[in-house]
């Protein structure tokens, strides 16, 4: 009986595990290389920027408020633009959510970008992204919400 169980488990692993090896297509992104731009501007912001940096680069927001963010489980400040919300912890950009194509996620020095409304092909290796800080895996996740046609409906980065 044990032999049948072991063979069954091995067969299940063979079927569900990737055939190209563990981590072979893994995309590692340093958080300092993760850039957020407005599609109409060349300026950018990134995680760790201050509230003043965001305001300087993106202009006057729709709203600024202090609150507890259930989604990210921290108390901080939020700057809201049409199509994006930026969340600050201790005065630094800690998380964001992008919901329209006015904002673009780019990777510095790579031809990789993500825009709400596009397919994920422009952000290669999406299912194997590891966010890192100084070469170490970071405790935040970059997530893409997709519609049934595999088009991005929102991009979220925040605590895991």
Q: 49 or 151: whose pLDDT is higher? A: 49
| DSSP character at residue 139 | S
Name 100's Cβ contacts closer than 8 Å, sequence gap at least 6: 82, 83, 84, 116, 117
Given this model, what pLDDT does residue 28 score?
Answer: 77
Give this prediction's pTM.
Answer: 0.78
Given this model, what pLDDT does residue 20 score?
Answer: 40
Banded pLDDT at 1 (limits 50, 70, 90): low
pLDDT at 92 > cutoff 90: yes
What is the pLDDT averaged over residues 14-29? 50
Given this model, what pLDDT does residue 153 score?
Answer: 92
What is the pLDDT averaged over residues 31-36? 91
**Sign of the four-CA dihedral 147, 152, 158, 160:** positive
Q: 14 or 31: whose pLDDT is higher? A: 31
Q: 24 or 105: whose pLDDT is higher? A: 105
Banded pLDDT at 131 (limits 50, 70, 90): confident
Banded pLDDT at 62 (limits 50, 70, 90): very high
Helical segments of the chain, H only: 2-16, 51-58
Structural contact between residues 103 and 44, judged by C-beta atoms closer than 8 angstroms: no
CA 66/CA 30 separation, integer angstroms: 28
Given this model, what pLDDT does residue 4 score?
Answer: 42
Structural contact between residues 107 and 36, judged by C-beta atoms closer than 8 angstroms: no
Given this model, what pLDDT does residue 23 score?
Answer: 44
């Amino acid at each position: 009986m044990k032999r049948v169980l072991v063979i069954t488990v091995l067969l299940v692993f063979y079927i569900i595990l990737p055939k190209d090896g563990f981590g072979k297509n893994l995309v590692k992104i340093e958080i300092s290389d993760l850039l957020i731009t407005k599609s109409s501007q060349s300026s950018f912001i990134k995680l760790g920027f201050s509230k003043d940096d965001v305001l300087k680069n993106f202009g006057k927001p729709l709203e600024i408020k202090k609150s507890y963010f259930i989604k990210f489980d921290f108390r901080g400040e939020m700057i809201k633009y049409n199509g994006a919300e930026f969340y600050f912890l201790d005065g630094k950009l800690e998380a964001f959510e992008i919901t329209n194509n006015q904002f673009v996620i780019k990777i510095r020095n790579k031809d990789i970008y993500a825009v709400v409304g596009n397919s994920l092909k422009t952000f290669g290796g999406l299912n194997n992204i590891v966010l890192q800080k100084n070469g170490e895996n970071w405790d935040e996740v970059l997530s893409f919400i997709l519609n049934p046609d595999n088009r991005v409906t929102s991009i979220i980065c925040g605590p895991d």
